[in-house]
Chain A
Amino acid sequence: MENEGKIRVRICLGTTCFVMGASKLQELEHLMPPEWKDKVDISADTCLGMCQNSNSGFMKAPFVKINDEMIGGATVEKVIDKLKELIV
């Protein structure tokens, strides 16, 4: 139960998300403030299935799921901003 109570961050590393920017999101853990490490649980997913929703789905890739909220067009900045809201 090590991760209980932590904010769950799931980064989609499916092919579309990876090519359209998720490769950069792999560095999230090192780019966010170190004191968040105990509060945030980051994991990678193969494909969250979002890119297949429409023909232009790749436009909104990469996807990151923070707890139950899906974030499209995710960037390191966007994810950190969202986490800031949840942590403060």
Chain B
Amino acid sequence: MQTEVNTVLLRREVMVRLIKAFLSGDFEKQADALPFDMRPKHAEVPFRCCIHKERAILRERAIAALGGSVEQDDDKTHLGEYARRALEREKPDNTVLTVIDTACQGCVPSRIYVTDLCQGCVARPCTTACAFGAISIKNGRSVIDGEKCKSCTKCMQVCPYSAIVKIKVPCEDACPVGAITKNGSGHAQIDVSRCLSCGACMASCPFGAVAEKSQMIDILRAIKSDKKVVAMIAPAIAGQTPVSINKVASGLIKAGFDIVMEVAEGADITAKTEAKDFAERMEKGDKFMTTSCCAAYREMVKKIVPELKPYVSETATPMHYTAELAKKRYPDCVTVFVGPCVAKRSEGLGDEFVDYVMNFEEMGALFVAMSIELAQCEDYVFDVETSKQARNFALTGGVAESVKVASGGKVDVRPTCVNGLNPKVVREMMTWAKKGECPLGNIVEVMACEGGCVAGAACLNNKKIAARGVAAYADKGEDIKPDENN
């Protein structure tokens, strides 16, 4: 996803500075100074109209990084006060995304627009293509009547000069379920009752106006306490840095975590449980089952397409199983899921075994703030060996494949993948739910992000390179062993 490098780097710099501020022992004062340290007097103004707007936006970015809601900000509260609240709160905020109001451009509303390239041709295919009579010719050029236009884009497709364009609002365009819209002042607002927390809006906004409410300070507090803190690293981590997963794990230990577990351990349980669930459903006469590990998809079923619920596997996610194992193995420990995903933060908030979620960007910022050079770290040895299929959970097709292998050839498994959620796919899935059948296969793997978790909204690496890293690590693992009791 991550295309807008400048906005991503701003976010990371804010995070690095706040972690350094926390570690300095002078947290509140340093947090307060952040906008001024990043844009000191007479500094260059790289992006916005003036230095004051840059600082105002950086302040709001810092509020999100400290775990606060920009929606509830009154403009008057100092960052130092937000830092203090972060030090005192019992638990993180219960929603994961916030709109950086001042950063939001308030884009022109989305519509179909005839540009100057219109030649006013004789054929006028646009007027005939329009089923709503929205296009007429005025002064020798096509004009669209906004009242009648349904944004079907037929006119765009037939124009021989490509003179008609769709003006997009990137966040609205990226959202698979229409959960982000404009408020009265034209700025973005998130409808929490629809939001899947997939992070597509955050990744697509060219102004960096959507941010996660970070739990970094809560995590740093846990590390500082005498409790054991377990980092549970998602399979996608294998392709996130130029070094091996074992060195990244050692990096986390250097950063203060006590134990590192692979979430692939939980993925092995998910694969086996899901294979069992699948076999039972097929025996019962069901036509299809969908996977259940993608957190944004789970939210989609809950909030948007409840009709799908009977077809979703009851199996819990790898994060859940891993956290459960951690709590058993290390009683009283604090569990921190480390992953590429925005929606996992939302899932984590509702999971009894998961205490906090840290994304890969925040992990990177932690390494930078603590000057941890991963290449110099030792190779961490994990307590449990994970399977090839579990390590591949982060790639599209990986989860369905794991169910197939875990089934051990005893059931007819025809896997298919929903590779990325968008409005069209959501509508299509609705029809499967209504018919009780999916024409594409009998086990449907759903990934909200195109490419799988390696394309999550909070990654460090380019998704193609990341996918290669995950596959290479998976290839070193043994095949999953089908459960004999199934």
Contact = CB atoms under 8 A, between A and B. Distances in A.
Interface of A: 13-16, 18-21, 23-24, 26-27, 44, 46-47, 51-52, 58-59, 61, 75
B242 A44 contact: yes
State the main secondary structure of chain A at its contact with B: helix
A36 to B, nearest CB: 21
Contacts of A46: 242, 373, 375
B425 interface: no
A15 to B, nearest CB: 5
B131 interface: no
A18 B242 contact: yes
A77 to B, nearest CB: 10
Nearest to A44: B242
B387 interface: no
Interface string B351-375: 0000000000100110110011111
A26 B239 CA distance: 13
A50 B460 CA distance: 21
Interface residues of B, number: 22
B462 A27 contact: yes
A21 B461 CA distance: 10
A13 B460 CA distance: 12
A40 B375 CA distance: 26
A20 B368 contact: yes
A16 B371 contact: yes
Contacts of A19: 12, 361, 364-365, 367-368, 460
Contacts of A47: 373, 375
A20 B9 contact: yes
Interface of B: 5, 9, 12-13, 16, 241-242, 251, 361, 364-365, 367-368, 371-375, 460-462, 465
B373 A15 contact: yes
State the main secondary structure of chain B at its contact with A: helix
A24 B241 contact: no
B334 to A, nearest CB: 24
A23 B462 contact: yes
25 contacts: A13-B242, A14-B373, A15-B241, A15-B251, A15-B368, A15-B374, A16-B368, A16-B371, A16-B373, A18-B242, A18-B364, A19-B361, A19-B364, A19-B367, A20-B9, A20-B12, A21-B9, A23-B460, A23-B465, A24-B5, A26-B465, A46-B242, A46-B375, A58-B16, A59-B13
A21 B12 CA distance: 10
Contact of A14 (B251, B361, B375): B375
A23 B368 contact: no
Contacts of B16: 58
Nearest to B16: A58
Contacts of B462: 23-24, 26-27
A15 B372 contact: yes
Contacts of A44: 242
Contacts of B373: 14-16, 46-47
Given A15-B374, A47-B373, 14 more contacts: A15-B241, A15-B251, A15-B368, A15-B373, A16-B367, A18-B242, A19-B368, A21-B5, A21-B9, A23-B460, A44-B242, A47-B375, A51-B371, A61-B368
Contact of B241 (A18, A20, A58, A75): A18
Most buried by B among A18, A19, A21: A19
Nearest to A47: B373
Contacts of B12: 19-20
A51 B12 CA distance: 16
Contacts of A16: 367-368, 371, 373
Contacts of A51: 371
Nearest to A62: B9
A87 B367 CA distance: 37
Nearest to B364: A19
A21 B8 CA distance: 9
Nearest to B5: A24
A66 B345 CA distance: 41
A12 to B, nearest CB: 10
A5 B162 CA distance: 46
